[in-house]
Chains A and B, each alone.
Chain A
Amino acid sequence: MIVESASRRRVRTVLAVAVVALFVFPLYYWTTTAFKDAREIFNIPPNVWTFDPTLKNFEEVFGISLGFLRQQEVLPGGGNFYMAPRLWDSIVVALGSTALAIAISVLAAYALSRMDFRGRHAFVGWVLSTRMMPPVAVAIPMFFIYKDIGLMDSYLGIILMHTLINLPLGVLLLKSFFDDIPKEIDESALIDGASRFLVFRRVILPMAKGGIAATAVLCFIFSWTEFIFVLTLTQTGLKTVPVVSSSFVTSTGTAWGNMAALGVAAMVPAFLFILLVQKQLVRGLTLGSLKQ
Chain B
Amino acid sequence: MATVAYRNIVKSYGAVRVMEDLSLDIADGEFAVLLGPSGCGKTTLLRMTAGLETVTGGDLLIDGARMNEVHPRDRDIAMVFQNYALYPTMPVWENIGFSLEVRKLPKAEIRKKVEAAAAVLNLTDYLDRYPRELSGGQRQRVAMGRAMVREAKVFLFDEPLSNLDAKLRAQMRMEIRQLHDRLETTTIYVTHDQIEAMTMADKIVLMKGGRIEQVGTPDDLFDAPASLYAADFIGTPAINLIEGAVVDGAFKSAGIHLPLPPGTAATAGQRVTAGLRPSDMTLGAAGSITGRVVLAEKTGVEQNVHLDIGGADFVVTAPRDVSVRPDETVQADIPPQKIHLFDSASGARL
Contacts and interface: CB of A to CB of B under 8 A. Distances in A.
B150 interface: yes
B81 A193 contact: no
A190 B72 contact: yes
Nearest to B51: A191
Interface string B59-82: 000000000000111010111011
B102 A194 contact: yes
A184 B150 CA distance: 18
A248 to B, nearest CB: 48
Contacts of A189: 87, 98
A203 B88 CA distance: 8
Contacts of B150: 192
B89 A193 contact: no
Given A184-B81, A184-B83, A191 B73 contact: yes
Contact of A292 (B72, B102, B132): B132
B103 interface: yes
Nearest to A186: B85
A182 B85 contact: yes
A65 interface: no
B89 A206 contact: yes
B50 interface: yes
B100 to A, nearest CB: 9
B283 to A, nearest CB: 49
A139 to B, nearest CB: 42
Contacts of B83: 182, 184
Contact of B102 (A184, A192, A207): A192
A187 interface: yes
Contacts of B71: 190
Contacts of A21: none
B73 A184 contact: no
Contact of B85 (A185, A194, A292): A185
A195 interface: yes
A106 to B, nearest CB: 16
Interface in B235-261: none
B104 to A, nearest CB: 10
Nearest to B50: A191
A97 B322 CA distance: 82
B116 to A, nearest CB: 18
B78 A193 contact: no
A198 B102 CA distance: 9
Please tell me the size bucket of the interface on A: 10 to 19
B350 to A, nearest CB: 44
B277 interface: no
A246 interface: no
Interface string B102-135: 1100000000000000000000000000011000
Nearest to B156: A191
A192 B96 CA distance: 10
B138 to A, nearest CB: 14
B146 interface: yes
Interface string B137-158: 0000000001000100000000
A292 B88 contact: yes
Nearest to A188: B85
Given A207-B88, A292-B88, A188 B81 contact: yes
Contacts of B174: none
A161 to B, nearest CB: 35
A195 B74 CA distance: 11
B52 A193 contact: no
Interface string B288-310: 00000000000000000000000
A187 B85 contact: yes
Contacts of B132: 292
A192 B89 contact: no
A190 B87 contact: no
A198 B103 CA distance: 12
Nearest to A184: B85
A192 B103 CA distance: 9
B279 interface: no
A193 B99 contact: yes
Given A187-B81, A192-B102, A207-B88, 11 more contacts: A184-B83, A187-B72, A188-B85, A191-B77, A191-B79, A192-B78, A193-B73, A193-B103, A198-B102, A202-B98, A207-B87
18 contacts: A185-B86, A185-B87, A187-B85, A188-B85, A188-B87, A189-B98, A190-B52, A191-B50, A191-B75, A192-B146, A192-B150, A193-B73, A198-B102, A202-B98, A206-B89, A207-B87, A207-B89, A292-B132
Q: In the A-B complex, list the 9 residue pairs whose CB atoms are closest, starting with the nearest.
A: A192-B99, A184-B85, A206-B89, A188-B85, A193-B102, A184-B81, A292-B132, A185-B85, A194-B102
